[in-house]
Structure formats: structure tokens, C-alpha cells
A and B are shown apart, each in its own frame.
Chain A
Amino acid sequence: MNEKIRTVIFTVVVTAVFVFMVSGVNALLNDKIVANRTIARQKVILKLFGFYQSDNKWPDALIPQLFASATAKVSLPEAPALECYRHSVGADKFFVIAFSGQGFWDNISGFIALDLDQGKIGGLEFTQHGETPGLGGRISEPEFRARFKDKPINSIRSDGLRLKIVAEGSATKPDEVDGITGATGTSNAVEKIINNTITSFIRLNEGGKQ
């Protein structure tokens, strides 16, 4: 009996000590981790505005400053929670909007740039997804994301979509985008998310309020 109690006490004490150690380290470094995540998001947004390119990288320390001076947050009265940005100077209707939706496995989220002056997509970036590596996971490759660039957003197809994802290599019309072979689930999910995001943003911004 005595031995059993000792075992329980020992386990509890050791667990407590290690929990304390891990939470201590976490508490010490949490601010830095949060800052890193913010910088990573800001980088993605700056990339969509064309400020941050692979051949023109800014050091991480300057990112928050650049972000604050180059972009301005847009608040839409009907959707105050929607994360949306535009250039801080000029009145061009180029918006970067956060999106999120159910993917094949996990949530897919990211940012899309919409150029309302020209009526086309300015760019697409994913910040988080859990798609199958090598198949659906290819959505985060630059080559796939580039397929959406300059696609028209204002016309609605006969099937109700703005952009249709079709079998890889078979996109011929401007409102068609090549999907990923072997990742139909992911392709369909991305199609739904992108179409919903564009439609809801155009509706929120009806008549060019912003």
C-alpha cells in the first residue's frame, strides 16, 4: 500500500515539475512567437501588394514598419470582422482579403488580392492548409497559385460560378482554372472558397463604397 502511494506521489510530483518547466519556457517566449506569426502574415499581405518579392526581400525587423506605412486596413460596416487591406496611398481599388474555408482535410486559409479597377484577381497566397502532401498540398506551390492571377472576377458563368476549376491542362476559357490531378477534393474545395470569397466581397463592397 505504502509503495503504491509513493508511486502516485512520485508521478504527480515529476509531472508537476515538468509542466512547470514547459509552461515557464512557453511564457518566456510567447511574445516572440506571436510576433513571428504576425510578421509571417504581414509578409504574405505585402507579397500580394507586390512589396515583398523573392528577389527583393526585406529583413524581418522592418516588416511591421513597412506594413504599417504601405497598407491601410479597410473596415466594411457589414462585416467588421473581415480582414481586408488596401494601399495606404492612392485610391486604387486593389484589396487584399483574408479567406478561410473547409478544405479536403483541414481548414484552408489565406489571402486573395482583388483588383476591382481591372476586374481581376491580383494574386493568391495560402497561409494554412492540411491537404495531402504532394497532391492537394500542391496548392501552396507558386505555380498553382499563379494559375489564378489575372482571372476575371466580374462575370458569372451559366453554372453560377465566377471561376470554374477544371481538369488539369484543360482550361481554355478565361474563366476556367486548371485544377490538380489526383486532388479533386482539394480542387473543388478551393473553387468553392475562392468563388464564395469573391462573391461575398463584391456584395459587401457594392457600388464601390470603398
Chain B
Amino acid sequence: MSAGPVKGVAALKRMLWEENPVIGQILGICSALAVTNLVKNTLVMCLGLIFTLMMSCFTVSLLRNVIPRQVRMIIQVLVIAAYVIVIKIILDAYLPEISNELGPYVGLIITNCIVMGRTEGYAMNNKPGDAILDGIGAGIGYSLVLLPIAMIREPLGLGTFFGMQLLPPDWTKWNMMVIAPSGFFALATYIWIVRAFKAGEGKR
């Protein structure tokens, strides 16, 4: 996937649909399966990822001309890890319960391939302004996949939405929806539907 001369808002937009990191590139699947059984956790995870992407892409892009080529990957991981730890500390301080529920997943943003993919694939070769937009785009693109999946999994699995009772209390909970395997099914179905749409779009 070449970065190409995509600049400005176009860099953000293409991440939402054409080159959506989850649907198009099948990146970030691990976290997509793990956190999507609760809408609230998913939202926090998505915001965390958007923040990390934005800041890391910006920082890497600023440093792009001075980073020695041999150590560029190490520097990228360092930058990403620093921002993720900052997020973890802020969550621990202000949203301790959510931080507890997300457990190791916030820390695992570091290894989310989307972040490194964007810093290496785009930020290393583009100006900071474009890199920020690209990062935000990739983060929103990720959220556009995760949030709908969470909105299906939480009501079916627990009968709630954002922690509030949505379905009648005598609703038979689909335990399957709470555990990770259902994330595979939901994600696969979602990608299938979106790709079918995309194929139709191409024929037009």
C-alpha cells in the first residue's frame, strides 16, 4: 500500500471508507474482538486509539527528516508506547473503573498494527498536518467498524446498551455474544456486508 501523494482532508477521508484499516487492510483485529462486548469500553478504546494515532503520526512526521533510517522503527515504537502509557495513566486517574475493565487492552494499543502502519506508511513521508489528518482518519475508520459491532453485541449479549437496560429484563441473553468468538462472527459479517457494498460501488 503506497502512501502516494494523498494530502489534507483526502488523507482523512480515504481512511474512513476506501482504505479503512480494519475492512480494507484487516489490521487491529485483536482489539476489535476483545473490547466490543460493551459499547462504553469500545468508545474509550476508540478514543484512545484516535488520540494515539493523532499524536504518534504528528510526532513521527515532525521527526521524519532527522530520524536515522536504521532506528526509525525503534523510534516509532518508542513514540507510540509513550503516548499509550500516558493514556493509561490518565484513565487510571480519571476513569478507574473503565481502566480496570479494559485491563491489558489499553496497553495493547502499542501493538495495534494500525498505529505502526500509519506512522511507517504515511507519517514518515508526509508533513505533520497531513499526518495528523491521516491518523485521525485511521482512528475514526477503526471506530466506524468497532462501534456498530459493539452496538450489536452488547444488547444481544447482555440486554443493555451503554450500561442501560435496553431489551426487556426477561430477554434471554446470548452468552455467546459476550465472549470473543462472537466478535469473529460479527466482524466477519460486517466486513462481508461492507465489501459487498464496495463491490457494487465499483460496478457503477
Which residues of A are interface residues toward B (Cβ below 8 A)?
3, 6-7, 10-11, 14-15, 18-19, 21-22, 25-26, 29, 32-33, 36-37, 40, 134
Does B85 count as interface, using CB distance less than 8 angstroms? yes
Determine how close the nearest CB of chain A comes to the CB of B107; give it in whole angstroms: 13
Q: How many residues of B contact A (CB 8 A)?
A: 21
Asked if residues B92 and A36 are in contact (CB atoms below 8 Å), the reply is: yes
Determine how close the nearest CB of chain A comes to the CB of B81; give it in whole angstroms: 8
Known: A18-B82, A21-B82. A32 touches B93 (CB 8 A): yes
Please report the C-alpha to C-alpha distance between residue A19 and residue B82 in the assembled complex, in whole angstroms.
7
Instruction: Give which listed residue, B67, B71, B79, B93, contacts A36 with CB less than 8 A.
Output: B93
Residues of A contacting B70 with CB < 8 Å?
A: 7
Instruction: Give which listed residue, B75, B78, B89, B179, contacts A25 with CB less than 8 A.
Output: B89
Does B68 count as interface, using CB distance less than 8 angstroms? yes
Residues of A contacting B68 with CB < 8 Å?
A: 3, 6-7, 10-11
Residues of A contacting B66 with CB < 8 Å?
A: 10
Asked if residues B71 and A40 are in contact (CB atoms below 8 Å), the reply is: no
Please report the C-alpha to C-alpha distance between residue A10 and residue B92 in the assembled complex, in whole angstroms.
32
9 example contacts (A-B, Cβ-Cβ < 8 A) are as follows A7-B68, A10-B66, A11-B75, A14-B63, A22-B89, A32-B93, A33-B92, A33-B96, A37-B96
Does B90 count as interface, using CB distance less than 8 angstroms? yes
Asked if residues B93 and A29 are in contact (CB atoms below 8 Å), the reply is: yes
Asked if residues B90 and A18 are in contact (CB atoms below 8 Å), the reply is: no
Instruction: Give which listed residue, A14, A32, A37, contacts B78 with CB less than 8 A.
Output: A14
Known: A3-B68, A11-B71. A22 touches B82 (CB 8 A): yes
Does B196 count as interface, using CB distance less than 8 angstroms? no
Does B74 count as interface, using CB distance less than 8 angstroms? yes
Please report the C-alpha to C-alpha distance between residue A14 and residue B82 in the assembled complex, in whole angstroms.
11
Query: Interface residues of B: mostly helix, strand, loop or mixed?
Result: helix
Determine how close the nearest CB of chain A comes to the CB of B60; give it in whole angstroms: 11
Does B113 count as interface, using CB distance less than 8 angstroms? no
Please report the C-alpha to C-alpha distance between residue A21 and residue B85 in the assembled complex, in whole angstroms.
10
Residues of A contacting B79 with CB < 8 Å?
A: 14, 18
Residues of A contacting B74 with CB < 8 Å?
A: 11
Please report the C-alpha to C-alpha distance between residue A141 and residue B77 in the assembled complex, in whole angstroms.
37
Please report the C-alpha to C-alpha distance between residue A131 and residue B90 in the assembled complex, in whole angstroms.
26
Instruction: Give which listed residue, B71, B78, B89, B100, contacts A29 with CB less than 8 A.
Output: B89
Please report the C-alpha to C-alpha distance between residue A15 and residue B74 in the assembled complex, in whole angstroms.
10
Residues of B contacting A18 with CB < 8 Å?
A: 78-79, 82
Considering only CB atoms, which chain A residue lies closest to B95 in the complex? A36
Q: Flag B173-200 by CB within 8 Å of A: 1 or 0 each.
A: 0000001000000000000000000000
Q: Flag B51-86 by CB within 8 Å of A: 1 or 0 each.
A: 000000000000100111011001100110010011
Considering only CB atoms, which chain A residue lies closest to B68 in the complex? A7
Please report the C-alpha to C-alpha distance between residue A19 and residue B86 in the assembled complex, in whole angstroms.
11
Please report the C-alpha to C-alpha distance between residue A40 and residue B179 in the assembled complex, in whole angstroms.
26
Asked if residues A26 and B89 are in contact (CB atoms below 8 Å), the reply is: yes
Please report the C-alpha to C-alpha distance between residue A36 and residue B92 in the assembled complex, in whole angstroms.
8
Ranked nearest first, the 3 interchain pairs of A and B with the lowest CB-CB distance are A18-B82, A29-B93, A7-B68
Instruction: Give which listed residue, B67, B86, B90, B96, contacts A10 with CB less than 8 A.
Output: B67
Determine how close the nearest CB of chain A comes to the CB of B55; give it in whole angstroms: 11
Known: A7-B70, A14-B75. A22 touches B93 (CB 8 A): no
Considering only CB atoms, which chain B residue lies closest to A9 in the complex? B68
Residues of A contacting B96 with CB < 8 Å?
A: 33, 36-37, 40
Asked if residues B82 and A134 are in contact (CB atoms below 8 Å), the reply is: no
Known: A10-B67, A11-B74. A22 touches B92 (CB 8 A): no
